[in-house]
Amino acid sequence: MVKLTGIALLAALTAGIGGTAAVIRHQVNMRNEIATPTVEVSVNENLDGDLTGGDKPKEVKFTNNGTADIFLRVSYAESWKLDAGGGTEELLNNYDEEGQIPVVTKQNSPEGFLSGSDWVYIDGWYYYTKILPAGGTTEPVLKSVDFSKLTGTIDENLTDYQNAGYELYFQTEAVQASDELKVSMDAAEELFGEGFVPYETADKQEEMNSETWQEDRLNAYIDWTEEGGN
């Protein structure tokens, strides 16, 4: 039987120019070591530990537990770890021996990373195209993880995976969104290395200015594409 060794979270919590990071296994609660936190992001996930049924519901979303509105970006990685004996572990690729087909597949939700509306992919990161307000939560980005290749009679190349532990890692980074447009753009450029252009709607018909940003930034569409930037 495949073993789920836990969901590991790597979160970089950024407040101004300071920050802290922690790796947490087997839980989703996080401890923020910043003395006066204004930015704090948590990953909310639910995964059935019994993988014998193949496709398993797994809802993943991100919550802003801080007191400041934020810009958010997320990356993830996955791995398999097999006990090789003598206290050592062997890392297995999430692809078959020919490196073509994933052993585990992830089913994205309609509002997930591949939706093309709520998130945009740039250089290894998924950027949230909205401001996430204090106390707010994104729509789910993932709805299930499919282990069906490892049930019943399986390909001999996948035998090791039946005794290995699967880990899915999420890394989140957040930048405070100021009510001053230029301050927000400069902070994102400095800490994310990416600029943005704010639009009043997702169709990008009307670009926001400093005044409309102050009035309605929580409804803005944040364009992180390479054409954007300040």
Question: pLDDT tens-digit profile of 97-107?
Answer: 665 667 777 77
Q: What single-letter DSSP state applies at residue 202?
A: T
- The pLDDT of residue 198 is 96
Q: Residue 189: phi, psi to the nearest 5?
A: -65, -40
Q: How far apart are CA 122 and CA 129, in angstroms?
A: 12
Q: How far apart are CA 26 and CA 159, in angstroms?
A: 25
**Strands, E, within the chain: which ranges?**
3-4, 8-15, 18-25, 41-47, 55-64, 70-85, 88-92, 105-108, 119-122, 125-128, 142-146, 165-176, 197-199, 221-223
Would you write out the chain's pLDDT as a tens digit for each of its 230 residues? 444 443 443 333 333 333 333 332 323 333 333 333 356 777 776 655 555 546 666 778 899 988 899 999 999 888 788 877 766 677 667 766 665 667 777 777 777 787 778 999 999 999 999 999 999 999 988 887 777 777 665 667 677 777 777 777 888 999 999 999 999 999 999 999 999 999 999 999 999 999 999 999 999 999 998 544 44
Q: Is the dihedral of CA 136, 140, 141, 146 positive or negative?
A: positive
- The pLDDT of residue 107 is 74
